[in-house]
Amino acid sequence: MIKRNLPYALLVLVLLAAGIGQILHRHWVFDVPLLPGESQSIWSVEAKLEFTAHGEPVRVRLATPDSQPGFMVLRDSGASPGYGLNFIQGEHSAAEWTKRSAEGRQVLFYRVDLLESDAHDLMTEKAPPIMQASWPEPYASAVAQVVKEAYSTSADHFSLTRELLKAFEAEPKAQHVQLLVSQYHDKLPGLLVNMLNMAGVPARVVYGLRLQDGRRQQLLEPYIRVWQGQSSQVFDVPLQQRNPALFDPDAPLLLWEQRGDPVIDVTGADNSQLRFSMIRKEESAFASVANRLSDQHELLNFSIHSLPVEEQAMFKTILLIPIGALVVCLLRVLVGIKTSGTFMPVLIALAFIQTSLITGLVGFLVVVATGLVIRSYLSRLNLLLVARISAVIITVIAIIGLFSVAAYKFGLTEGLKITFFPMIILSWTIERMSILWEEEGPREVVKQGGGSLLTAVLAFWAMNNPLIQHLTFNFIGVQLVVLALVLILGTYTGYRLLELRRFVDMETR
C-alpha cells in the first residue's frame, strides 16, 4: 500500500513545494507583495492599432497621455515588429511608427503604466484661444437661442456649460435643440465647444477612457474641457451610445488626448481601428516590479504580467476558476452537497462576479423558473433530444432579451447585467432539472438547485475576495498549490458531513 501510494505522495509534495517556492521567489526576489494593501495601484492601458497597408511607406502617429490629476505616467513602451518606433516628448507627446514598405493587415501596440496619484499639480495645460464659428440658417438662430437661454440661467463658465448640457439632455427637447441634434448629432462635441466659444468661454474637445478593471476592446470617448481662469473642468457629452450595464460613470477618467491634436494620424494605409484594454494591478510601494526584471531571471519570473494587457485581463478571470473548483470539491467531497452539474456552480459564480450577487441570484432564479415552465410544455411535444435542447437555448435567449428590455424600460439598469449569464449552461441546467422533476420529483429539484446556488454563492465569495484575486493573478504558483489540495481531496473515502445524520437515531437509542 505504501509503495503504491508513494508516487502520489511525491507528486503532491512536488506540487506544493513548487507552488510555495514560486510564490516566495516572486515575493523575495521581485518584491511582489503578498497582500494587496502593501502596494500601489498601477493601471496598465494598452492601445491596439490595426490598419491595412498597401505596399507604400507607412507612418503612424498616436497621441500618448501625460501625467494628470489622479494619474502619473510611470513608463510606456510599444510593440512593433519590423517598424521603427520613436517616442516624441514635449508639448505634443506621441508615439510614431515608421516603415519603408508594408502590405496587408498590420497590428501595432502601445502600452502605458499609470500610478494612481493624489497630486493635483501635474497638468498645467493652458486655455485654448477662443475661435468664432458660423452656422447657416436656421441653425444659427437655434444656436443663438440655446446659448441665450443657458447664459441667462448661469453664473460662470462652468455653470453655463452645465446649462447647455442640460438643454441637450432634457426630454422632451425644445424645438430649436431638436433641430440642432438632428443636424449635428455626430458632431455634437464640436458644436458644444463652438457654442461655448460664442459665449466667450474657452473650451476644447478632449478624448478619454473610463478605467474599469479587466475591460477590453474599449473606445476613446469625447469629453469637453472648459476653462475659467487657471482652473478647468471636464464634462461628459450627452447623447453618447453606451451600454448602461458596462459603463460605470464613477470609474476614474484618464484623459488620453487633451491638446486638440488628432488621436491617430496614419499615412500610407487605411481602415485604421484603435481599441484599448486595461487592467489594474498591484506593485510594491518601494520598488517597481517591472524595473527589477532582468534577462537572467526571465525563466524564473514566470508571470502573467509578461502578456499583452488584453490577455492579462482575460487571464485575471480565468485564474479564478481553480479557486471555484476547489470550493466545489470541498463541498461535494467533504460536506456532501448535491449540485445540478459538477462545475455548473463555478460558471454561475463567474456570472455573479460580473453582475453582483443580488442581481445575479434574482436573474438566475427568474430565468430558470421561467425556463422550467416552458420546458414542461416542450416535453409534451415528444421532441428529439437535440431539437428539445435547441428549443430551450432559443427560449433562454428570448427570456434574457425580454427581461433586459423590460428592465431598461423601467430604468433598472442592473437588470441588463443578466446578459452575462452563460446561456448554454442555463439551458442545460433547465433541461437537467426538468428531467430530474419528472424522474425524482420536485423535492430533489429543490435539493440540487439549492445546493447549486449555495455552492455558487460560496464560490463567488471566495473568487471575489480581493486577497484571492491578488494572489492568483500575481503568483502563478497558487495554481500548483490548489492542484495539490484537489489531489489530496481526491483520495478521501470517509463519511461526508451530511451523511452523519444517519447515525443520529442510533445515538438516541
Q: Are residues 343 and 232 in the same domain?
A: no
Q: Are residues 107 and 189 in the same domain?
A: no
Q: Are residues 372 and 498 in the same domain?
A: yes
Q: Give the total number of structural domains in the chain.
A: 3
Q: Which residues does residue 96 pair with via DSSP β-bridges, in sequence order?
A: 61, 86
- Enumerate residue ranges in the chain where pLDDT < 50: 1-3, 120-122, 286-300
Q: Are residues 204 and 75 in the same domain?
A: no
| Residue 362: burial class (beta carbons within 10 Å; 0-12, 13-18, 19+) | middle
Q: Are residues 328 and 477 in the same domain?
A: yes
pLDDT tens per residue across span 71-120: 888 888 887 888 888 888 877 788 999 998 888 889 999 999 888 776 54
CATH code of the domain covering residue 71? 2.60.40
Q: Are residues 250 and 352 in the same domain?
A: no
Give the three-state DSSP class for 241.
coil
Q: What is the pLDDT of residue 505?
A: 59
Q: Give me 394's grid cell.
A: 432559443
Does any domain span residue 120?
no
Q: Are residues 104 and 151 in the same domain?
A: no
| Amino acid code (one letter) for 142 | A
Does any domain span residue 118?
no
Percent helix, strand and coil across the chain, each to the nearest 5: 50, 20, 30
Q: Are residues 237 and 270 in the same domain?
A: no
Rounded to 5 degrees, what angle do the CA atoms 248, 252, 254 make?
Answer: 115
Q: Are residues 447 and 396 in the same domain?
A: yes
8 Å CB contact between 103 and 33: no
Q: Are residues 347 and 430 in the same domain?
A: yes
Q: Are residues 57 and 151 in the same domain?
A: no
Does any domain span residue 299?
no
Rounded Cα gap, residues 84 and 18, in angstroms = 41
| Residue 15: burial class (beta carbons within 10 Å; 0-12, 13-18, 19+) | buried
Does any domain span residue 466?
yes
Q: Are residues 272 and 247 in the same domain?
A: no
Within a 10 A sphere around the Cβ of 398, how many other Cβ atoms?
12
Q: What is the pLDDT of residue 118?
A: 65
| Amino acid code (one letter) for 44 | S
Does any domain span residue 303?
no
This prediction's pTM: 0.62
| Amino acid code (one letter) for 491 | T
DSSP one-letter code for 336:
-
Sequence-separated (6 or more) residues with CB below 8 Å from residue 291: none
Which of these three, 241, 257, 273, is where a domain ends?
Answer: 257
Does any domain span residue 23?
no
pLDDT tens per residue across span 244-288: 556 677 788 888 988 878 889 898 888 889 999 988 876 655 444
Q: Give me 378's grid cell.
A: 416542450
For 50, the domain range is 42-111+264-284
Does any domain span residue 485?
yes
Does any domain span residue 133?
no
Nearest Cα to Cα of residue 480 among 14, 140, 27: 14
| Amino acid code (one letter) for 60 | V
